[in-house]
């Protein structure tokens, strides 16, 4: 669905309030991207990002001050041991990590996560993804960009998504740091109602914008992880 500019801005603002603390920066070797916390309907929690950011033997997640408590304990980043081995990769460009290990690392260092999650209830299902056509719609991306001196500020990009054959993609290239970030849109529901949905996550650019790993595939992979 293509929104007018004022509505796009309103939706972007609300997303920052609802899930702004779900996203965090990721560094894997020399690669910089974004990951986000995802909560399943049965209470499971996973960190999701792009497969391309999970292939390094060493990796870390950035610790924005708003994501940890108590204040001034956690530091700026959390090095994740066996980074490459912690991820499940379903083969559609996405990667998922159960967050139990992240909570254990935090507890061992004397702090706790204070995050929001993208809930499964707003993750687009297979019917919603199948209903996306070639006409452009408004896409809102929440990501940790790359600023001066290596800063990773929370940023919002308002772009366009559309179907291109079997792929749903963003039609423009995004700045550094956006790979792995969640992509949101306003879709028409099965009964004609309008609802906010998370389409999936940003994959590396391929010369025609960025393909998305969509939530129909991601949801199935997370369900397999849960057993």
Q: What is the pLDDT of residue 224?
A: 74
Each residue's pLDDT expressed in tens, for the chain with a length of 227 residues: 999 999 999 999 999 999 999 999 999 988 999 999 999 999 999 999 999 999 998 899 999 999 999 998 999 999 999 999 999 987 789 999 999 999 999 999 999 999 999 999 999 999 999 999 999 999 999 999 999 988 999 999 999 999 999 999 999 999 999 999 999 999 986 666 788 999 999 999 999 999 999 999 998 878 777 76
Q: What is the pLDDT of residue 90?
A: 77
**Euclidean distance between CA atoms 196 and 8, whole angstroms:** 12
Q: What is the pLDDT of residue 227?
A: 62
Answer whether 158's CB lies under 8 Å from 188's CB: no
Nearest Cα to 23, choosing from 183, 173, 170? 183
Q: What is the pLDDT of residue 138?
A: 97
* Topology classification of domain 5-18+120-214: Thrombin, subunit H (2.40.10)
Where do the H-state alpha helices sit in the chain? 5-19, 100-108, 126-130, 215-226
**Euclidean distance between CA atoms 135 and 211, whole angstroms:** 16
**Euclidean distance between CA atoms 197 and 183, whole angstroms:** 9
* Topology classification of domain 21-118: Thrombin, subunit H (2.40.10)
Q: What is the pLDDT of residue 190?
A: 66
Contacts of 212 (CB under 8 A, 6+ apart): 161, 167, 168, 169, 170, 183, 199, 200, 201, 202, 203
Structure tokens at 18: 């609802």
Answer whether 56's CB lies under 8 Å from 183's CB: no
**Paired strand residues for 33:** 26
**Domains 5-18+120-214 and 21-118 are alike in CATH topology:** yes
Answer whether 150's CB lies under 8 Å from 185's CB: no
Q: What is the pLDDT of residue 225?
A: 75
Domain boundaries, the chain: 5-18+120-214, 21-118
CB-count exposure of residue 135 (10 Å: 0-12, 13-18, 19+): exposed
Q: What pTM did the predictor assign?
A: 0.95
């Amino acid at each position: 669905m293509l929104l007018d500019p004022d509505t796009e801005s309103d939706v972007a603002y609300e997303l920052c309030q609802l899930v702004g603390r779900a996203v965090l920066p990721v560094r894997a070797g020399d690669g910089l991207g974004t990951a986000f916390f995802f909560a399943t309907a049965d209470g499971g929690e996973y960190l999701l990002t792009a497969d391309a950011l999970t292939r390094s033997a060493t990796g870390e997640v950035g610790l924005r001050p708003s994501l940890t408590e108590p204040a001034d304990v956690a530091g700026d980043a959390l090095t994740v041991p066996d980074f490459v081995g912690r991820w499940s990769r379903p083969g559609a460009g996405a990667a998922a990590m159960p967050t139990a290990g992240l909570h254990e690392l935090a507890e061992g260092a004397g702090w706790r996560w204070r995050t929001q999650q993208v809930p499964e209830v707003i993750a687009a299902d297979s019917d919603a993804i199948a209903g996306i056509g070639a006409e452009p719609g408004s896409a809102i991306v929440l990501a940790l960009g790359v600023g001066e001196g290596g800063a990773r500020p929370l940023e919002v990009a308002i772009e366009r998504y559309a179907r291109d054959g079997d792929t749903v993609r963003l039609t423009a290239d995004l700045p550094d740091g956006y790979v792995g970030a969640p992509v949101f849109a306003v879709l028409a529901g099965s009964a004609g109602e309008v609802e906010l949905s998370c389409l999936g996550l940003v994959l590396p650019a391929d010369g025609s914008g960025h393909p998305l790993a969509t939530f129909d595939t991601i949801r199935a992979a997370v369900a397999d992880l849960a057993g």
